[in-house]
């Protein structure tokens, strides 16, 4: 973990907002970060993933799935839009959504009934910015950026933004992720 600060870009600096930056050097480290983040997640959590094509959103989600102990291989749901991975044990299901092909706003997202799944699942939405914020005032926004000017195609900076009261007390736990 490199830094922790308040007031993420693109989100209001509301009380309880925590932002952490993580340097990731490889796809395996991205997956491991996902496994560690999964240890902080609970049923009802909304995770929004942002990053260009090939940034590592699905790799991070694979790690989340492993950490949550869900059934099935986590792959990009680009063509099916949403995939549900039931828990192997007592934990929450993982609902993995790719909103890339969806227009905008909550209208199209409502057709997926994510609000019905949210209380008992962890919902991860790739490309969800501007589309799913209305689902929950408490969410984890994850932004994956390639290192600027870096020739190493594997290196990423991952910014974790816990937004809302749910995340207010979890800054230390996120920092441990």
Please give the C-alpha separations between residue 137 and each of 96, 134, 151, in angstroms, as whole numbers. 19, 7, 38
Is residue 13 situated within a structural domain? no
Cα separation, 130 vs 153, whole angstroms: 28
Is residue 173 situated within a structural domain? no
Is residue 177 situated within a structural domain? no
CATH of residue 71: 3.40.50.300
Look up the domain containing 42 and give its range. 3-7+18-168
Q: pTM of this prediction? A: 0.82
Report how many domains make up the chain.
1
What is the three-class DSSP state of 112? coil
Is residue 176 situated within a structural domain? no
> What helix, strand, coil percent values describe the chain, rounded to 5?
30, 30, 45
pLDDT digits (tens, 9 = 90+) for 40-95: 999 999 999 999 988 999 999 999 999 999 998 888 766 667 888 899 999 999 99
Backbone angles phi, psi at 131, to 5 degrees: -125, -30
């Amino acid at each position: 973990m490199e830094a922790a600060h308040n007031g993420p870009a693109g989100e209001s600096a509301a009380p309880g907002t925590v932002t952490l930056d993580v340097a990731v050097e490889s796809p395996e480290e991205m997956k491991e970060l996902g496994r560690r983040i999964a240890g902080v997640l609970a049923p009802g959590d909304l995770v929004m993933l942002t990053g260009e094509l090939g940034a590592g959103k699905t790799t991070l989600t694979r790690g989340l799935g492993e950490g949550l102990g869900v059934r099935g291989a986590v792959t990009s749901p680009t063509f099916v839009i949403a995939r549900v991975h039931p828990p192997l044990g007592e934990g929450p299901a993982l609902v993995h959504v790719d909103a890339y092909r969806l227009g905008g706003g909550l209208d199209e997202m409502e057709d997926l009934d994510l609000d019905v799944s949210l209380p008992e699942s962890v919902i991860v939405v790739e490309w969800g910015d501007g589309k799913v914020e209305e689902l929950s005032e408490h969410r984890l926004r994850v932004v994956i950026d390639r290192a600027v000017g870096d020739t190493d195609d594997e290196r990423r900076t991952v910014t974790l933004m816990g937004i809302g009261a749910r995340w207010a007390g979890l800054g230390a736990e996120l920092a441990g992720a």
